[in-house]
Amino acid sequence: MAISKKMINANALAEQINVFRCPICSSTMVLKEYAQMVCEKNHSFDLSKQGYVNLAPQAHATKYDRALFEARKTIMTSGFFEPVLKRLIEFIETNTNALPTLRLLDAGSGEGSHLSYITTNLKGKVGGVGIDLAKEGILAAAKDYPGNSWIVADLANCPFQSQSFDVLLNILSPANYKEFTRLLKEDGFLIKIVPENDYLKQLRMIFYEDVEKEKEGNPVDSVSTHFKHVKTERITYDFPLDTQLLENLIRMTPLTWGASTEKIEQALASKIPFVTIDFTMIIATNENSFA
């Protein structure tokens, strides 16, 4: 008899229950009957029918809805991010190959495709945890990528014990460096991916009539104030598009938020043959240098 996705996700939670703490009182937690996470003070959180857990005590509304995550999944499974993810895997394997079990947190995991790809392709035993404040993303992750722990959680109050993770990923997502430094082990690594000036410049020329990307501070400087050792790598390539991928890319990117119907129709009709992918990978640690 095939095991259900909920039970696959529940088993993943059971294997990693020691890294969790209650988001209300910060006490340790246990998993009861593969159905409920309960802390020492009896705050309880039920597993959903898909096997994820909501550990964000206050309800939060986000702009990230089901349609956006469906579009994002289509884009991610097309190979759009594959060169980036392969480089992440290469770095992680080179710098953590001596660990019996790798504890990996994806902070801002969305619909789960990045974390699933990485944990599936890493060698050795990996305990993956994906968190996002957007419930629709975590629901999709639990359904589509069972085998990791999928948690609705707030970056400002991460429901994990201090020094729990060997690697923390933060891919095109907001950061909370105070929490990141708390959650990482002393020799752990933060890997943050940020967009650079040429990222999706073909779309920006339509929506903004300008290819210059407006920056909100320097993320490398922000990381450097919290970590002793920081290095960067630039990852740039062109990705081919067909009509379906272009439509889904337009649906998933924040570029279109607030855009007029006319601009969106203009972008859809443009038949852009490719888009430029342009990222900086920021790698940081407090204990050791890196390969």
**Pairing of the two strands 101-107 and 165-171:** parallel
CB atoms < 10 A from the CB of 138, how many?
28
Residue 29 domain-assigned (yes or no): yes
What distance in Å separates the CA atoms of residue 181 and residue 168, rounded to the nearest whole number?
10
For β-strands 36-39 and 44-46, DSSP reports them as antiparallel
The pLDDT confidence band at residue 264, using thresholds 50, 70 and 90, is confident
Compute the distance between CA of residue 109 and CA of residue 250 in angstroms, rounded to an integer: 20
Is residue 253 a part of any domain in this protein? yes
Q: Residues 6 or more apart from 186 whose CB is under 8 A from it?
A: 163, 286, 287
Q: In the block, which residue shows the tokens 């996705």?
A: 5
**Residue 290 lies inside a defined structural domain of this protein:** no
* Number of compact structural domains in the chain: 1
Average model confidence (pLDDT) for the chain?
91
For the domain that residue 98 is a member of, what is the CATH number?
3.40.50.150
Cβ-Cβ contacts under 8 Å for 55 (sequence gap 6 or more): 20, 23, 37, 45, 151, 152, 153, 159
**3-state DSSP assignment of residue 227:** coil
Determine the Cα–Cα distance for residues 36 and 47; give it in Å rounded to an integer: 6
| 113 assigned to some structural domain | yes
Region 78-97: mean pLDDT is 94
- Which of 115, 111, 125 has the alpha carbon at shortest distance from 248? 111
Of 288 and 262, more confident: 262
Q: What is the domain extent for residue 199?
A: 5-285
In sign, the C-alpha dihedral spanning 110, 112, 117, 118 is positive
Helix and strand numbers, DSSP H then E, in the chain: 10, 11
238 close to 277: Cβ distance less than 8 angstroms: yes
Q: Would you say residue 291 lies in a domain?
A: no
pTM higher than 0.85: yes
For residue 173, give both structure tokens: 């997502």
* Cβ–Cβ < 8 Å for 135, 171: no
Helix (H, G, I), strand (E, B) or coil at 93: helix
pLDDT tens-digit readout, 34-69: 999 999 999 999 999 999 999 997 766 666 777 888
User: Once rounded to an integer, what is the mean pLDDT over residues 126-142?
Assistant: 95
